[in-house]
Amino acid sequence: MKRILTTIQEKANKILLLTILAGAITSCDSVLNYDEGDCSIEYCVKFKYDYNMEEVDVFAEQVRTVTLYAFDDNNNLVYQNTDEGEPLGEGNYSMKVDIDPSQYRLVVWAGLNDESFAVPLLYPNQAKIDELTVKTLRKQATRSTSEDEKDQYIVDNSLYSLWHGEVKKGPTTRSGRQQITNVSLVKNTNTIHISVVQVNQSNGPITKALTEKTFQCAIYDDNGYMNYDNSLLEDNLLTYKPYNTKTEVITTRAFSAENEPAKEYNGITCDLSVARLVEGQTPELTIKNSLTQEVLFHSSDLIKYFEEVDAEKYKNRNYSLQEYLDREDEYSIKIFVDEKLALIKTVIDVNDWIIQLNDIEL
């Protein structure tokens, strides 16, 4: 009888011990104060890039390197960390950090690549926030005939995609032991496709053919030097030149009647990669005849064309101009020439939106 009681007591003790252990494990996932006991918080930062025209988070599809900087109330750098590679492409990716990010000002640069951008090397407990800048790399021309800075500081490569994010003591969410701070990203880099499209208005023979070498184009803007908050710092005037030029068949409704479909024309397209477009800046576009250097087309402010697209094509979205410039990262500008390569001055096509040039001055 005594042996039976002892066996029962041993089993009861085991059950009690298992109950206590189960309770302790459960408490690690539910207790609010993780600083007490053996349970610890895992601090994480999760990134999102849905500030685009599709309004869909494509961080996992597009971003492959991300650097986080954390600053205290005195703007001192206290922590930084970089993650890169395929793990960023996993849908559940978050950056694990050694600080409580909700207590700091977080600045994020994603996509930094030393072939496109220069960023200073900063050290925690030494650097200040105003030292965190990003400069678009440029080539300096050995000679320039321009009296100003045009054609002196040249960007003629395809820039790596660059994103910026910032949050100051942001809100957090909890998931078990994880405390998560979210940071939304804005894309800075843009691709602009400049097309010269030949339209035979006389239906006669084309007397001057359009080739890849007929015209040359450039965009000018002093937008290549960015501060920690993504504002623009004083910079040289950059000359953006095509990194690719090709002949292609181009579709547009510029010369179609109201109920007619878009028509196809022969044309050339130049692809340019530019840094952040900012309201208040006045990026210029110039297209010249390569042989004579005669100006075919000049716009002193490309932003005004993009503003019309925002106001008309996307008016139902109620974007501000800067929001549209930040969400959009690919622009197409089609100008038209006739069979003699003379400019057709009545219309241009911007992102498949037809703009009458008597509405906006050249």
Nearest partner of 221 among 269, 272, 274, 270, judged by Cα: 274
Q: Which residue in 152, 324, 109, 133 sits closest to 224, CA to CA?
A: 133
User: Which two tokens mark 228?
Assistant: 């920690």
Give the mean pLDDT of 288-299. 96
**136 has pLDDT over 50:** yes
For residues 260, 359, 325, 317, the Cα torsion angle rounded to the nearest 10 degrees is -60
Strand order in the sheet with 284-289: 139-140, 153-155, 238-240, 215-221, 284-289, 295-299
The whole-angstrom separation of Cα 239 and Cα 273 is: 11
Report the residue count for the chain.
Answer: 362
Q: Which of 338, 32, 337 is nearest to 177 (CA)?
A: 32
Token pair, residue 55, equals 């309004």
- The tokens 């549209």 sit on which residue? 324
Q: What are the residues whose beta carbons fall under 8 Å from the beta carbon of 83, sequence distance 6 or more?
A: 65, 66, 93, 95
Q: What is the CATH number of domain 190-356?
A: 2.60.40.2090
Domain spans of the chain, in order of start: 42-111+162-187, 190-356
pLDDT of residue 131: 99
State the pLDDT at residue 69: 99
**Averaged pLDDT of the chain:** 90
Q: Which residues in 85-171 belong to E strands, given as ranges?
A: 95-96, 105-110, 117-118, 134-136, 139-140, 153-155, 163-168
List, in order, residues 6 or more apart from 202 with CB less than 8 Å away.
Answer: 338, 339
Tens-digit pLDDT profile for residues 63-74: 999 999 999 999
Average pLDDT over residues 96-115: 98
CATH 2.60.40.2100 fits 42-111+162-187, yes or no: yes
Give the single-character DSSP code of 130.
G
Q: 3-state DSSP call for residue 239?
A: strand
Fold identical between 42-111+162-187 and 190-356?
Answer: yes
pLDDT in tens, 253-284: 999 998 899 999 999 999 999 999 999 999 99
Q: What percent of the chain has pLDDT over 70?
A: 87
The per-residue pLDDT for 204 is: 80
7-40 tens-digit pLDDT: 445 554 554 444 444 444 444 444 444 444 446 8
Strand partners, 1: none
Assign 312 a pLDDT band (cuts: 50, 70, 90). Answer: very high
Query: How many angstroms separate the CA atoms of 86 and 56, rounded?
Result: 20
- 148-164 pLDDT per residue, tens: 899 999 999 999 999 99
Whether the pLDDT of residue 359 is over 60: the answer is: no
Range with the largest mean pLDDT of 1-5, 11-15, 145-149, 244-248: 244-248
Task: Look at 34 and 92; give whichever has higher pLDDT.
Answer: 92
pLDDT given for residue 361 in this prediction: 53
Q: Supply the pLDDT for residue 29.
A: 47
